[in-house]
C-alpha cells in the first residue's frame, strides 16, 4: 500500500490524527529535498520556507501552489496541539489541509496522479458545494463578541500591539538562549577550560532564562488576545484555502449552468443577482460560447464586444478572460463603455471629443433661470434629458415625468431649459468639446448600420437608457447583460424600459454568493433588508468595526491592522485593498501604508496591473465596483456628496448602493474604520448593521 493510499484510508478517521499524518508525510519529503541548510538545527518551518524560496528563485514563472506553504506551516503548528494537548480540529479544517497537501504533492511530483485523485475524492463536499453549516458550527460562532464593541476594538488594537512586541521579545530571548547554549557546548567540545568564559556564559544563560520566564508570565495576561489571534489565523487559513479551491475549479455551479443554458443564441438576455453571485463569470462563459460557435460556423460572423463601466473593471475582466483562455479575434474588444462611445463619436464627428467638465463650466457662465442653480441645470441636462434621450416633444409637450429630480418644473420652465440647452449645445459643438450626455445625442442622430455580432455588457445597471438604445442598434444578434439595480452608483433610472429591450421572460436571477463568506453576507443583509433570500456556502471571520473620535486615530488604527494582517495572518500585500471615499484620501493613505513599512499602488492608475505583487492596493469606492478582494479595509471617515440636482431620497439610494458595493467586494476579511459619531446618516446605518 502506497503512502497516499494510507493517507486516503486515514482521511475518514479523526481529523486531528489525519492532519498529523499529512504533516508527517510532508516532513518526510522535506527531509529528502533539503539536504543543506543555513540553520544548525532546522525545524519544519525552516525547511519548508527554504524550499519555497528555492523554488520561487529558480522559476521564471509565478507558481500559485507556493501560496499553500503558509497554510502547511500553520497545519504543523496545529499538530503540536494535537500531539501534546490532545486538541481537536474540525472536518472542514482537515479538508483545507487536504487541498494544501495535494497542491504540495503535485508541485513536488511526489505521488502518482491516480493516487492523488483518489485523495481528492475526499473533497467531494467542496466540489459539490454542499452546505456544511453543521460541520462549521464552532467556527460560525466565532464572533469574538468581546471585541465587537467600538471601544473594545480600540483596546484590541493596542493590546495586539503590546502582545506582538512581548511575543517578539520572547522569541528573541529563545534564540539568544539557544545561541548561548550552543556556545557553551562548543567550548566543551573543544576541551577549552576557561573558567572565566564558562562563568560568563553560565551567568548569561541564567539571566536569559529569568528574562524568558518573566516574558512568559507577562504573556499569560494576554491569553484572550492570544486566543483571538490563534482562532483568527485558523479561520483565515481555512477560508483562504476554501477560496483557493474554488478558484482552481473556475467552473460554473449548477445554478449558473442553468442560467447559461437559458441565454439564447440570438436575442437579448439579462443576468441579474446580488454582488458576488457570479454574474460576470456567466457573461464571460456566454462570450466563450459565442466565440466557439463562431469558429465552428461556416459564415463570416462579425466581432464580439465586452463592455464594462470602469477602466479598472476592463483590466479585471481582461485578466480573468486571460485565465479562462478566451480564444478571441483581433477585431473582438474588451473596453469601457465610454471608450467605445468616444470611438463612435469621432467616427461620426472626427473633430469632436468628450470633455467631462465643459457642461459644468458653461452652466456656471450662463445666465441661469431663477428656478435652477447652475448645478441643477447641469443635472437636468446631463442626468435627465440626455441620459434618457428625450425629444423636445417628450420633454415639453408630453411633460414626461422627472422621477428622482429635486425641483419640479412647469411647462413654461421646461421651455426655458430647452432654450438654454440648445444654446449650450451650439457652444459645445463650436468648441469641439462636448459633454458625455450630448455626445450620446449626437451619436444617436447619425447611427451607422449594425456592425457587431453581439455585445456583452457588465454592470449594465449604470448604463443610461439612450446608451443602451444605441448599443442595441449596433448588434445583429442582440445584447447579453449582467447587472444588479442594487449596485447602481451612477444611474438612478432603469435603462431597459425605453431602450427597446424587453427583459420580461428574458432574464434570470442568481441567489448563491460565491465571493463573500456567510459572516460578510449577514452584515450586508443587516445593512440592506432586501438581501434576505441570498445564501453563501463559505465560512469566514466576522467583520470587525474600528472607530475613533479623530481621523488621525483612524489612520493609526489602519496602520496597526495592516501590520497584523501581513505579519501575523501572513496575507500577501497585493491581497489587501484599502477602499477610500474619494481621490482626496489617496496620498494620505499611501503615506500611512509607507510609514507602516509597506509599499502601495492605486488601482485607478493607468499603469496598474492586476498581476503586480508585493504592494497594498488602494481604490476609491467607485473604482472597486465589480472586483474581488480577499481583504478589504474600508476607510470611511466621511462620505462624499452625491450627484447634484437629485432629490434627497434618490441621492441617498445611490450612496447606499455605493456603500453596499464596497462592503460586498470582500472575500475573506472585512474591517471598517469610522468615526465614533459619523455625521452622515448612511454611515450611522453601517454602525447599526454591525450591531445587528
Rg (alpha carbons) of the chain, rounded to whole number = 30
Burial class from Cβ neighbours inside 10 Å (0-12, 13-18, 19+) for residue 513 reads: buried
Query: How far from the centroid of its chain's Cα atoms is residue 339's Cα?
Result: 25
Say if residues 521 and 649 touch (Cβ distance below 8 Å): no
Asked if residue 277 belongs to a known ligand binding site, the reply is yes
Give the DSSP H or E segment for 322. Answer: helix 311-323
Asked if residue 542 belongs to a known ligand binding site, the reply is no
Pairwise CA distance, residues 516 & 275, whole Å: 9
Q: For residue 420, how many other CB atoms are within 10 A of its CB?
A: 20
Smallest Cα–Cα separation from 147: which of 160, 166, 133? Answer: 160
Pairwise CA distance, residues 339 & 353, whole Å: 11
Number of H helices, E strands in the chain: 27, 16
Q: For residue 594, how many other CB atoms are within 10 A of its CB?
A: 13
Asked if residue 358 belongs to a known ligand binding site, the reply is no
Q: For residue 340, how many other CB atoms are within 10 A of its CB?
A: 19
Asked if residue 426 belongs to a known ligand binding site, the reply is no
CA distances from 687 to 149, 504, 547, 692 (A): 10, 38, 10, 9
Smallest Cα–Cα separation from 244: which of 98, 109, 113, 133? Answer: 98
Q: Residue 579's beta-bridge partner residues?
A: 619, 634
Pairwise CA distance, residues 309 & 462, whole Å: 7
DSSP alpha helices (H): ranges in 11-67? 15-33, 44-58
CA distances from 285 to 124, 321, 514, 627 (A): 24, 9, 16, 17
Q: For residue 62, how many other CB atoms are within 10 A of its CB?
A: 10
Query: How far from the centroid of its chain's Cα atoms is residue 233's Cα?
Result: 19
Give the DSSP H or E segment for 674. Answer: strand 666-675
Query: How far from the centroid of its chain's Cα atoms is residue 159's Cα?
Result: 28
Pairwise CA distance, residues 48 & 53, whole Å: 9
Asked if residue 280 belongs to a known ligand binding site, the reply is yes
CA distances from 379 to 155, 372, 395, 624 (A): 46, 10, 15, 25
Asked if residue 274 belongs to a known ligand binding site, the reply is yes
- Our CA angle for 367, 369, 375, nearest 5°, is 80
Residues shown for the chain:
692
Known binding-site residue numbers: 273-280
Residues annotated within the binding site for ATP are 273-280
Amino acid at each position: 500500500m502506497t503512502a497516499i493510499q494510507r493517507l486516503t484510508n486515514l482521511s475518514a478517521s479523526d481529523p486531528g490524527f489525519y492532519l498529523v499524518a499529512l504533516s508527517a508525510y510532508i516532513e518526510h519529503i522535506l527531509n529528502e529535498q533539503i539536504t543543506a541548510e543555513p540553520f544548525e538545527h532546522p525545524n519544519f518551518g525552516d525547511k519548508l520556507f527554504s524550499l519555497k524560496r528555492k523554488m520561487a528563485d529558480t522559476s521564471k514563472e509565478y507558481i500559485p501552489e507556493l501560496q499553500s506553504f503558509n497554510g502547511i506551516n500553520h497545519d504543523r503548528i496545529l499538530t503540536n496541539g494535537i500531539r501534546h494537548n490532545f486538541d481537536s480540529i474540525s472536518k472542514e479544517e482537515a479538508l483545507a489541509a487536504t487541498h494544501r497537501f495535494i497542491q504540495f504533492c503535485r508541485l513536488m511530483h511526489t505521488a502518482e496522479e491516480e493516487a492523488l485523485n483518489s485523495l481528492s475524492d475526499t473533497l467531494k463536499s467542496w466540489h459539490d458545494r454542499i452546505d456544511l453549516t453543521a460541520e462549521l458550527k464552532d467556527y460560525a460562532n466565532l464572533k469574538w463578541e468581546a471585541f465587537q464593541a467600538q471601544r473594545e476594538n480600540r483596546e484590541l488594537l493596542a493590546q495586539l500591539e503590546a502582545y506582538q512586541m512581548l511575543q517578539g521579545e520572547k522569541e528573541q530571548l529563545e534564540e539568544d538562549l539557544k545561541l548561548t547554549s550552543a556556545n557553551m557546548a562548543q567550548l566543551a567540545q573543544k576541551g577549552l577550560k576557561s573558567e572565566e568564559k564558562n562563568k560568563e556564559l553560565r551567568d548569561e544563560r541564567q539571566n536569559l532564562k529569568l528574562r524568558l520566564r518573566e516574558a512568559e508570565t507577562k504573556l499569560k495576561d494576554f491569553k484572550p488576545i492570544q486566543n483571538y489571534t490563534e482562532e483568527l489565523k485558523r479561520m483565515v487559513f481555512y477560508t483562504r484555502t476554501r477560496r483557493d479551491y474554488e478558484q482552481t475549479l473556475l467552473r460554473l455551479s449548477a445554478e449558473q449552468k442553468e442560467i447559461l443554458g437559458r441565454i439564447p443564441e440570438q436575442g437579448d438576455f439579462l443576468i441579474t443577482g446580488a454582488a458576488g453571485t457570479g454574474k460576470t463569470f456567466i457573461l464571460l462563459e456566454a462570450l466563450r460560447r459565442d466565440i466557439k460557435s463562431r469558429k465552428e460556423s461556416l459564415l463570416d460572423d462579425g466581432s464580439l464586444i465586452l463592455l464594462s463601466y470602469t477602466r479598472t473593471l476592463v483590466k479585471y475582466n481582461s485578466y480573468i478572460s486571460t485565465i479562462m483562455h478566451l480564444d478571441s479575434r483581433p477585431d473582438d474588444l474588451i473596453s469601457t463603455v465610454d471608450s467605445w462611445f468616444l470611438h463612435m463619436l469621432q467616427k461620426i464627428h472626427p473633430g469632436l471629443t468628450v470633455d467631462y467638465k465643459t457642461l459644468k463650466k458653461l452652466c456656471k457662465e450662463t445666465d441661469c433661470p431663477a428656478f435652477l442653480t447652475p448645478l441643477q441645470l447641469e443635472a437636468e441636462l446631463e442626468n435627465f434629458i440626455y441620459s434618457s434621450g428625450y425629444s423636445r416633444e417628450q420633454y415639453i409637450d408630453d411633460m414626461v415625468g422627472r422621477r428622482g429630480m429635486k425641483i419640479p418644473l412647469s411647462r413654461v420652465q421646461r421651455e426655458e431649459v430647452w432654450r438654454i440647452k440648445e444654446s449650450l449645445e451650439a457652444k459645445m459643438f463650436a468648441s469641439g468639446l462636448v459633454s458625455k450626455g450630448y455626445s450620446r445625442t449626437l451619436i444617436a442622430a447619425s447611427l451607422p448600420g449594425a456592425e457587431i455580432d453581439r455585445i456583452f455588457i457588465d454592470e449594465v445597471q449604470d448604463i443610461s437608457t439612450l446608451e443602451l438604445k444605441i448599443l442595441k442598434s449596433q448588434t445583429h444578434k442582440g445584447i447579453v447583460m449582467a447587472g444588479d439595480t442594487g449596485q447602481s452608483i451612477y444611474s438612478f433610472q432603469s435603462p431597459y424600459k425605453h431602450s427597446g429591450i424587453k427583459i420580461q421572460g428574458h432574464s434570470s436571477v442568481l441567489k448563491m454568493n460565491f465571493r463573500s463568506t456567510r459572516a460578510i453576507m449577514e452584515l450586508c443583509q443587516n445593512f440592506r433588508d432586501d438581501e434576505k433570500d441570498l445564501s453563501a456556502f463559505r465560512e469566514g471571520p466576522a467583520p470587525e468595526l474600528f472607530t475613533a473620535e479623530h481621523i488621525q486615530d483612524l489612520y493609526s488604527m489602519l496602520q496597526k491592522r495592516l501590520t497584523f494582517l501581513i505579519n501575523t495572518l501572513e496575507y500577501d500585500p497585493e491581497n489587501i485593498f484599502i477602499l477610500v471615499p474619494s481621490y482626496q484620501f489617496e496620498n494620505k493613505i499611501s503615506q500611512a501604508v509607507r510609514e507602516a513599512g509597506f509599499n502601495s499602488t492605486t488601482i485607478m492608475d493607468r499603469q496598474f496591473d492586476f498581476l503586480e505583487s508585493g504592494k497594498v492596493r488602494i481604490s476609491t469606492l467607485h473604482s472597486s465596483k465589480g472586483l474581488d478582494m480577499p481583504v478589504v479595509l474600508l476607510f470611511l471617515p466621511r462620505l462624499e456628496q452625491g450627484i447634484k440636482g437629485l432629490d434627497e431620497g434618490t441621492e441617498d439610494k445611490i450612496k447606499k448602493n455605493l456603500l453596499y458595493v464596497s462592503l460586498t467586494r470582500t472575500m475573506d476579511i472585512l474591517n471598517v474604520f469610522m468615526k465614533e459619531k459619523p455625521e452622515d446618516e448612511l454611515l450611522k446605518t453601517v454602525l447599526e448593521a454591525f450591531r445587528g
